[in-house]
Amino acid sequence: MGEFELISHYFAAAACAQAGDGVALGIGDDCALLEVPAGEQLAVSTDTLVAGVHFPHNPDPYLLAQRALAVSVSDLAAMGAAPIGFTLALTLETANTDWLQAFANGLDQMARACSVSLIGGDTTRGPLSLTLTVFGRTPKGLALTRSGAQVGDLLCVGGYLGDAAGALPLVLGQRSDDSTAAKALLQHYWSPQPQLALGQALRGKATAALDISDGLLADCGHIAAASQVCMQIEVDKVPLSASLQACADDQAARQCALSGGDDYVLAFTLPAVELSPLQTQGWPVHVIGRVVAGQGVEVLDGYGNKIIQAVGGYQHFGRDGG
C-alpha cells in the first residue's frame, strides 16, 4: 500500500477528517485553511511521541491513538482554547492493515470526543513515532498562560492526580492486576480526557494555568518560575482517586500524585473570590495550596511544616532524559 492510498483509506475518509467549525479546507490540498473569527487568537502546540520513550514498544494501536491525541489536545485546554483541528505525522516500520485500522478507529473516536478535526499530516517509514500539531482559538487577551500567578492566589487542580503513574507498572508489564481499580487506572493512562470545558470556564478567572504532564511538583515549578512566585502545596489536600488508593499504599499514592506525571489534569491559580462561583457551577476545582512570595515549590504536611521533596519531571537530554 502506497503513502497516498494509506492516507486516503485510513485517515482522509474518517469522520474526524471532515471539515468542521473553523476548518475551511482540510485534507486533500497542500495546506489546510483555518478560519479564526475577528477578535480571537490562534493557539498552536506540537507534541512528538516516540516508541520506547513516551509509550512502550508494541502498544495497542487503538489506545495509542487515543492517548497521543488526548495529550496534545490537553495543551489547548491548558490555554483555555476551543479546539479546531490537528495534523498527524505518522512514522511506521511497516504498513500493517490491521494495525492501521485500529489506530485510525482510536484516533477518530478521541477526535470526535474532543470536537477536533484531522486536517492534514504525513506518513513515512521508520521507527514508530507520532507528531501531532493541534490548533485552537481563544478570545484575544483571554488565553491562560503560566506567567500570571499572584501572591495570595489559591493553587487548584481540576481532578484526581496520580492515576497514570499508578498505572505505569501495569503498562510496562512489571505487575499484573485484573481488579476494577487497576482497569480504571489503565483507562486514565491510555485515554486521558482533556479538560477543554474547564479551561474555557477559567478564562478571565484563573491567573495562570497549565496541564499536568511532568508531575504536579515539576509543573507547578513552571508556573512559579514564569510568575516569579512560590507555590505552596498542602500534601493532604491533593485529591486521590479511590482506584489509586486501592492499588497503592498511602505513601506510594501520594508520591504518584506529586511526581508521577501524565495526569493531563489542569493546575491553575485562582483569586479566592473566584472559587465559590466556579464550584457552585459544578466545576471540579480542588484547592491544594496557595501562591506566596518567594520562588520554587514548597510541600507542606498537615501541620504546615515543609517537607523536603525533590522536584523532578522528565527532561529530554537532561539528567533524567539521557
Contact 302, 244 (CB under 8 A): no
Classify residue 178 as exposed, middle or buried by CB count within 10 Å of its CB (0-12, 13-18, 19+).
Answer: exposed
Same domain, 84 and 185: no
Does 314 reside within a domain?
no
Same domain, 117 and 194: no
CATH classification of the domain holding 253 = 3.90.650.10
Range of the domain at 20: 3-139
C-alpha cell at 220: 507547578
Distances (CA, A) of 44 to 184, 258, 292, 296: 31, 28, 31, 28
Among 154, 90, 172, CA closest to 124: 90
Same domain, 170 and 292: yes
Given 139, 174, 202, the domain boundary residue is 139
Given 108, 139, 170, the domain boundary residue is 139
Does 207 reside within a domain?
yes
Q: Is 204 helix (H, G, I), strand (E, B) or coil?
A: coil
Same domain, 131 and 186: no
* pLDDT string in tens for the chain (322-residue length): 566 666 666 676 676 766 667 888 888 788 889 999 999 999 999 999 999 888 888 899 999 999 999 999 999 999 999 999 999 999 999 889 999 999 999 999 999 999 999 999 899 999 999 999 999 999 999 999 999 999 999 999 999 999 999 999 999 889 899 999 999 999 999 999 999 999 999 999 999 999 999 999 999 999 999 999 999 999 999 999 999 999 999 999 999 999 998 999 999 999 999 999 999 999 999 999 999 999 999 999 988 888 866 555 555 444 444 3
Classify residue 301 as exposed, middle or buried by CB count within 10 Å of its CB (0-12, 13-18, 19+).
Answer: exposed
If one counts the domains in the chain, the total is 2
Q: Is 257 helix (H, G, I), strand (E, B) or coil?
A: helix
